[in-house]
Amino acid sequence: MPTQIESARQGLITAQMEAVAKSENVDSEFVRQMVAEGKVVIPGNNIRHPNPVGIGKGLRTKVNASIGTSSDIVDYDAEISKAKAAQAAGADTLMELSVGGDLDRVRREVIAAVDLPVGNVPLYQAFCEAARKYGDPNKLDEEMLFDIIEQQCADGMAFMAIHCGINLYTIERLRKQGYRYGGLVSKGGVSMVAWMMKNGRENPLYEKFDRVCAILKKYDVVLSLGNGLRAGAIHDSNDRAMIQELLINCELSELGRDMGCQMLVEGPGHMPLDEVEANIRLQKRMSGDAPYYMLGPISTDVAPGYDHITAAIGSAQSSRYGADLICYITPAEHLALPNEQDVIDGVKAAKVAAYIGDMNKYPEKGRDRDKKMSKARRDLNWDKQFELALFPEDARAIRASRTPEDENTCTMCGDFCASRGAGELFKNDLRGDKI
């Protein structure tokens, strides 16, 4: 069975491409062309068919939510609830990142609970299984690793973050620059670096990249090239180790596309705002416009408890400059395993950020909704305001909790409502749709 990219190169518009075109209000031939060129991916699986989601050039920026157990907290029902809450809050994709408990069970139950494309990081289970079997994750056998990747694909994964870009040369760069202020923060990345250093061997995911692609191509699963050396502190942003891994991942994205596998490239991490544009332009240039999946970025290191906000600020910038998929950050980042409310707050903050980014990425089509909202506020048309809001139920609930004496105003201004007063002054001067 041909993959999405192979079908597109044959001139075929698949049902998934049609669905993406409809949801994005673009021509299906445009979607086919972008998929054929590797500039758009549609995460899916030829065994399980999630809702089609297009990620890439010319499409709105998508939001990913991540959930999963830890070694301290294993609650399967809670993870299912978080998965459903993420979907209800508007997440476009979901990553199941468990490292505690029965990993097969939680993965399969999460996949069954939602309609979203679900992704994961297979290194997590590989190293967990090695630790359980041998008492040492560094005794992981590469055949076990490839078997786990295949099994997870067969379970219905739509995309996989696989750390192929870490190799012995990137570790040398890390050492020669004097390590880092923030260290290494990717669980999969650290585990692979430890395995390589302990065994004195090259990363098998890099060394046998063609085998990785062959497995994912078999199921038409998108290969997301993991950012294992991403910066975990803004002072490590765009350092030599991070850029070296990005360079390798961009090369691999080209090779993977040539093999008929859909490819994503992953980005940071923590990054000051003045470096976001350069990082995205570099990735797009080196990868031939492969879709870019960014974790935020978190734009300052000093706001624990509010990192959904620091990431939303970075995400708006990354969306603006061309990132295609952003991973949410929750208020619990750096502090604890997220609960259901953290997931909801993280998704909504990221959705706002993506919307703001798209307003500026696509100004010719991205600001009409804001114009309509402005007019609804000017005219005190509350129903229209709720209709246009990103999260109408939240807006309704806030207003209902503080009901004004005059239903045309709100309790912020009451009798001193500026919109009402100005509307009376200029009611004969309205320019309708021109305003």
Q: How does pLDDT run across 37-49, given as a tens digit for each residue?
A: 999 999 999 999 9
Q: How far apart are the first and last CA of the chain?
A: 52
Per-residue DSSP letter, 43: -
CA contacts within 13 A on the Cβ side of 162: 35
Quick one: 354 and 379 in the same domain? no
Helices (H) and strands (E) in the chain, counts: 19, 10
Q: Range of 391's domain? A: 368-434
Residue 109 pLDDT: 98
Quick one: 129 and 233 in the same domain? yes
Q: At residue 275, does pLDDT exceed 80?
A: yes
Please check whether residue 17 is in contact with residue 5, taking contact to mean a CB–CB distance below 8 angstroms. Answer: no
Worst-scoring range by mean pLDDT, 114-118, 222-226, 246-250, 403-407? 403-407
> Rounded to whole angstroms, how far apart are CA atoms 317 and 51?
27
Domain end (from 346, 361, 376): 361
Quick one: 292 and 387 in the same domain? no
Quick one: 347 and 403 in the same domain? no
CATH of the domain at 117: 3.20.20.540
Strands of 92-225 (E only): list them.
93-96, 118-120, 159-162, 222-225
Angle made by CA atoms 37, 357, 287, in degrees to the nearest 5: 30
Quick one: 316 and 233 in the same domain? yes
Which residue, 162, 168, 154, is CA-closest to 219?
154
Per-residue DSSP letter, 60: P
Amino acid at 7: S
Residue 7 in tokens: 């079908």
Quick one: 149 and 96 in the same domain? yes
Q: What percent of the chain has pLDDT over 90?
A: 90
> Rounded to whole angstroms, how far apart are CA atoms 227 and 97?
15
Quick one: 248 and 306 in the same domain? yes
Quick one: 55 and 145 in the same domain? yes
Angle made by CA atoms 12, 225, 302, in degrees to the nearest 5: 130
Residue 420 pLDDT: 78
pLDDT tens digits, 180-226 = 999 999 999 999 999 999 999 999 999 999 999 999 999 999 999 99
**pTM > 0.85:** yes
Q: How many other CB atoms are there within 10 angstroms of residue 202's CB atom?
A: 14
Domain end (from 335, 361, 387): 361
Q: Please confirm whether the linkage preceding 297 is cis (ω < 30° from 0).
A: yes
> Rounded to whole angstroms, how far apart are CA atoms 157 and 233?
30
